Amino acid sequence: MENKRYLEDTDKKYIWHPFTQMKDWAAGTPTIIEEGSGCRIKDIDGKWYLDGVSSIWVNIHGHRRKEIDDAIREQIGKISHSTLLGLSNVPAIKLAERIIGIMGRSFNCMGNSSWLPSSGRAQQVGVKAEMPSPAKVFYSDNGSTAVEVALKMAFQYWIHKGVEGKNSFLSLTNAYHGDTLGAVSVGGVDIFHKVFGPLLFKTFKAPSPYCYRCGSGRNPQDCGSACVAEMDSILKKHHREIAALIIEPLVQAAGGMIIFPEGYLKAVRDLCSRYGVLMIADEIATGFGRTGRMFACEHEAVVPDIICLSKGITGGYLPLAVTLATEEVYKAFLGDFKELKTFFHGHSYTGNPLACAAALACLDIFEKEDTLGRIQPMISLSEERLAEISGLDHVGEARNRGLMAGIELVKEKNTGEPYDWEEKMGWRVANYAKEKGLFIRPIGNVIIVMPPLSVSVEELEQMLDIIEEGIKAVT
């Protein structure tokens, strides 16, 4: 087909693909997607693939959801973009209110009122509602920008509070917060981040609670939370230099689906409070139901000071991100014009009306279909199957939190000796899966399974069958 040949050649001629060795890409034949439906995507040859990684962790309710398609079309009929710098727009306003409402429900049942609009608080204590001054939504367009905003906000917060010297951040080894330089500075995945070392600002690194490969060589049952103790000692020594801690709650996704032991996140929150360090929760991968609750922090009743959201926010349709700040953080930025307390940050497409309209429709579906209730049996199914898969000879650990799963392949099951990364074991399984009609993208030796939340029992079974076969065939 001439069209096919033209597209393949033109892709290779002009596109530089992200996180891709282009020499290998040029030697292969690109798979070119032209259509999607539900949990499947179709290439230009007409072959359908199960979307096993939700189009890189963004898709929530499936492709071509009528409600989201319609909402975007309706918004196109009004206006596609107008700026939030000096103006506002209708979907951005409605979405901000909606998100703060969800935050109120998710976090205020936990005894902290900072995510609840003041009007709501006033009703609670039986006084007349004042002009609401709730937590605030700061818009941007992708996960990395949401993180940049959070870091700058936390840094500037302390300046406005008159606290000097908080010029650094605390993050975890194996953390991934995006690809812009601030986000890379707080990142901890050497293979992606090390090369940029000379460009990065100073941060402190606490050990990732990666129990399967615990740096201290202990096991979670009797380690006495050694990684919490290490974070404690870093904070004890350096808290005066640290503006904020940034963390992916419960799951370090791009680090290889590393699942935190129970209680770890709560312990981290307590340390932040004790040492006067803001807590930034990067829920970009974990947010919007992926862990089985709307937000991962809910599992441990943890209330962060700043929250970053993106990816699933629009159901995987359009780029949009928000950085949420508690009323306490926001209020520090209020002052007379000449005091220069303004938050000087903003992107051209901030609060894009089409993306906000898609996000509103996505949230409607969560409510209408009780998405969080619907996925619970899917999570149990995936746990049963992962337990089976973990018995395979070359699987070191098959772990999950909700519908985020990672299967770590190892050369030696008994010792956990990893395959050399050059062996591309993860990719070999992914290539096998692609042949069989499943698209997945591994992280090193870890096979990632993160389907849209709309996945059916049959589709999930099919995905895990193919992966199991693939692991057996390749190892």
Interface residue list for ligand PMP (CB under 6 A): 142-144, 147, 176-178, 248, 253-254, 282, 284-285, 310
In the complex with ligand PMP, the residue whose CB is nearer, 254 or 306, is: 254
Which 3-state string (H, E, C) describes 132-185? CCCCEEEEECCHHHHHHHHHHHHHHHHHHCCCCCCCEEEEECCCCCCCCHHHHH
Give the C-alpha distances (Å, rounded to integers) separating 146 from 92, 107, 134, 283, 447. 16, 20, 19, 10, 27
Q: Compute the least distance from the CB of residue 401 to ligand PMP, in Å.
A: 13
Q: Compute the least distance from the CB of residue 180 to ligand PMP, in Å.
A: 7
In the complex with ligand PMP, the residue whose CB is nearer, 177 or 401, is: 177
Alpha helix segments (H runs only) across 161-200? 181-185, 190-193
Q: Compute the least distance from the CB of residue 165 to ligand PMP, in Å.
A: 27
In the complex with ligand PMP, the residue whose CB is nearer, 18 or 126, is: 18
Tokens of 97: 């209110």
In the complex with ligand PMP, the residue whose CB is nearer, 248 or 397, is: 248
Q: How many CB atoms lie within 10 A of CB 11?
A: 15
Tokens of 386: 């992962």
In the complex with ligand PMP, the residue whose CB is nearer, 282 or 327, is: 282
Q: Compute the least distance from the CB of residue 251 to ligand PMP, in Å.
A: 9
Q: Compute the least distance from the CB of residue 224 to ligand PMP, in Å.
A: 28
What is the distance between the alpha carbons of residues 303 and 314, in angstroms, rounded to a whole number?
A: 23
In the complex with ligand PMP, the residue whose CB is nearer, 177 or 269, is: 177
Q: For ligand PMP, which residue has the nearest CB? A: 143
Q: Compute the least distance from the CB of residue 448 to ligand PMP, in Å.
A: 11
CB 371 within 8 A of CB 287: no
What is the distance between the alpha carbons of residues 444 and 302, in angstroms, rounded to a whole number?
A: 31
In the complex with ligand PMP, the residue whose CB is nearer, 150 or 332, is: 150
- Return phi, psi of residue 183, to 5°: -65, -35
Q: Compute the least distance from the CB of residue 141 to ligand PMP, in Å.
A: 8
Query: Any residues with CB less than 8 A from the CB of 438 and at least 6 apart, and which?
Result: 49, 50, 52, 462, 463, 466, 467
In the complex with ligand PMP, the residue whose CB is nearer, 406 or 470, is: 406
Half-sphere exposure of residue 127: CA atoms within 13 angstroms, side-chain side: 7
- Return phi, psi of residue 70, to 5°: -65, -40
Q: Compute the least distance from the CB of residue 214 to ligand PMP, in Å.
A: 22
In the complex with ligand PMP, the residue whose CB is nearer, 142 or 156, is: 142
CB 441 within 8 A of CB 56: yes
In the complex with ligand PMP, the residue whose CB is nearer, 117 or 255, is: 255
Q: Compute the least distance from the CB of residue 127 to ligand PMP, in Å.
A: 40
Alpha carbon distance, N-terminus to C-terminus of the chain: 36
What is the distance between the alpha carbons of residues 100 and 64, in angstroms, rounded to a whole number?
A: 27
- DSSP character for 186? T
Tokens of 447: 């096979």
Look at residues 300, 462, 455 and name the one whose alpha carbon lies nearest to residue 376: 455
- Return phi, psi of residue 445, to 5°: -90, 10
